[in-house]
Every structure is written in structure tokens, then in C-alpha cells.
Amino acid sequence: MERHFLTTVSFWLALSFPASAQQFPFPQHVRYTAQTIKPAVVQVVLDQATTDFYDAWKARYLVNGSVTNEFYVHYSADWTPELKNAISVSEGHGYGMVIVALMAGHDPAAQIYFDGLFRFYTNHPSRLTPGLMGWQQVSPDCAAAPDGDDSATDGDLDIAYALLLADRQWGSDGQINYLVEAKKTIAAVMRGEINREIWSVRLGDWATPDDKKFYYGTRPSDFMMDHFRAFQHATEDTNWSRVTDECYRVIAQIQSRFSPQTGLLPDFAVRLDTAPAPAAGHYLESRNDGEFSYNACRVPWRLATDFLISGDNRALVALNKMNGWIQTLTAADPAKINAGYRLATGKNIGHDTSLAFTAPFAVSAMVNPTNQIWLDKLWRHVASRKIGEDSYFGNSIKMICLIVLSGNWWTPQ
């Protein structure tokens, strides 16, 4: 089924599976860490921009699967991926589950969509690690793509976090025990996607100890410390603190040695067992694997979210470097934020722009009151962009960033 069947299917599902009451309905207006800031805009305007974009995002990307009560995020809805019949990736699936859980209340059918996303996740497991999701699916029957049936860590981290959100949002005494499922996924992440020798975040469950090149590599955009804190709270596994500490160690060493002027982090880092360093070009994806490109663009948002929630000063130190550099480079003009930069020099590596870069810098500006004017400019720029002006990646990142920017990002603990 395609998107134009979404309303009919949702109505049928609503009749068949009545939703539970929300415990944390949107908007929540969370009080973040002291001295952090939000855009200087009336709260109702912040909320309205978020709900309006959610409605457009859901209509464009949330799609019924090949099974009636499944949903997936159609990541190729407005672009053609290298594998032309690819329709879903675990990264987007994690985004979708987090977004829907946090927008419950505004969306009365949020639990129905969430449960449908959960079913799609469980029906498309990694062949290597039960409990993790195969990273890519193809049409017409949503089967695993060739080489797409192992995992990618970023998607699984968001899926696990979303299940904890769902437990807090709707409780776990309904058709799906969200808390039990969250703990299963967290355990699978620890088993298949954490290097328990040095407590680093692996690229996926395919990066095994037999392959040192990738086993001691990581993707800094997977450094989701707010998630790790929630995982520790839910499971009482203190090893998640080790993972958090390792992430901050890698950030500090790379900034000190390879990006002291910009503070930027690379798409991929290597040699975590000795001296962390940016990956060489074509390490895994592209010639820009060692630069600030379409993976690392998420780092400012992920780091800032942890600071907003936890107040961890290590995040503030890292972000102050990035924030100061990007404001100087662009002369405080958000429209001049480029889609990619050299780590050391800050030189452009392309000439396009994307919300995938601009929206995360907006969230990162929230960590310091000295950024208020810059933040307000970023808000106006990001909020004004329509759904058709970017693709799935930029629009999905914007959606999550709007939730944070509007003061509506709450944690399951």
C-alpha cells in the first residue's frame, strides 16, 4: 500500500486497536539544563511550527508496509538511492519511531503508527544479531535488500530509545510490552554493536573482532549519550557509562589533534584502540569519510541534546568550539552553512546546502546564552523551509530538531 491509503488504513486500525491515553502528550515544554536557551519566539509559535511540519512529514514519509498493520519511513520518497528499489533503512525507521512517540497527543493515532513501525522492525531483523534491525529493505514486498540484512548502529539506538519513550508514553500493559522490548533491543545493541574491549560504538553488528579495520572504527554521529543514559537507567547496566566516557574521549582527542580550529568531527573515526583519528577517504562510504559530511552533520544536534538534558560539561566544551567557528565562517548567516567541510581547515567540500547541516547547528546554539541572536536567525531559517525544499534526510533531521528547539524533547527516565 502507498501513502494515499494511509488515512483509510489508519481509520481501520483505530477501530481495531484502540490507543492508550498519552502520559506525556505534545507539547511538554521541558525545562532544559540551566542557562541553556530556546529561540526567542512565543511558545505557541514554536509548537505550531513543530506540529505543522510533523503533519507534512508524516504525510510524505510514513507509509503502510506490505502487511496491513505495518508502517515504515519511506526514505526514498523524494530521491533515487543507489539501489533503485530501496524503500526503507533502519536509520529512518529509528527517526520515525522517536518522532511518533514524542508527537503523541498532537497526533491521536500516534500509538497506532508506532506499533506499526514496531512490527516492521521486528519483521526485518538482522541476520547476525536477533533484536537488531536489518539496515535496508526493498520494494515491492519490503524484503531485505542484498547486503542489507545486517545492522547499522544508529537506527538500532533510536529504536531502543523510542521503545523506552513508548513505555513512558502509553505504558506497557497493552498489546506490546514496550519496556520488555526496549530491554531486549538494548541488550542486542550491547551484544552486537558495542566494542566491549574498549567500550566504543561499533558501526554495526558486521564489524567483528576479526576485522580490525572496522572493529576499532566508529561513526561519531552514533554518539547518542542521552540514549546511553536512558539505557543505563532502564537496565541498571553501568557499562553504558563506559560507553559515554569513551565517546567523549574520542571527541576530545579528535578535536585536539585534527580540528583545533573548527571543532568538527569526521563521518568516520578509526584506530580507537590506539590513537583515534579521522578515517581515510573511501573507508566505508565516500571520499569524504574523514571529513564533516553527511554523517557527521548530525553531531551538533546529538551532542547538544545530551547537554540540554544532562548538563555534561564535556558536551559544552566540544560544542562551543563548533558554534564559534560556524558563526565566524558564515558571518552569522544561516543561509551560508554549507553541506560539508574539511575537518582541519573548514574549507567547503561541496556547494550545496541542506537542513541536515543547518538544523543541527540550530540545536547546538541552544547550549550557550551568548548564541541567542545566532539561534534566532537559525530558527527563522530552519522553520521557514517547506517539506518540498529538502529530501527525507534533511526533513527528518529538521523534524527531530524542531522538537528539541521548541522545548519538547523529554527523556524516558
Q: What residues are labeled active site? A: 91, 154
The residue length of the chain stands at 413
Q: φ and ψ at 369, to 5 degrees?
A: -60, -20
Distances (CA, A) of 390 to 57, 83, 384: 11, 20, 12
Distances in Å between the Cα of 280 and the Cα atoms of 220, 257, 287 are: 15, 15, 8
Q: Is 144 left (phi over 0), alpha (psi -120 to 50) or beta?
A: beta
With 0-12 / 13-18 / 19 or more C-beta atoms within 10 angstroms meaning exposed / middle / buried, residue 34 is exposed
Q: At what angle do helices 6-16 and 110-122 cross, to 10 degrees?
A: 100
Distance CA 7, CA 393 (A): 24
Rg (CA), the chain: 20
Any idea what the Cα angle at residue 245 is, between residues 133 and 183, rounded to 5°?
Answer: 35
Instruction: Pull the grid cell for residue 145.
Output: 535488500
DSSP states along 330-375 = HTT-GGG--S-B-TTT--BS-S---HHHHHHHHHHHTT-GGGHHHH
**CA 231 to the chain's CA centroid:** 16
Residue found under cell 582541519: 344
**What is the C-alpha separation between 114 and 98, in angstroms, rounded?**
9
Cell of 407: 522545548
C-alpha span between 71 and 216 (Å, rounded): 34
DSSP state of 221: G
* CA–CA gap between residue 397 and residue 177 (Å, rounded): 28
Contact (CB, 8 A) for 349 and 340: yes
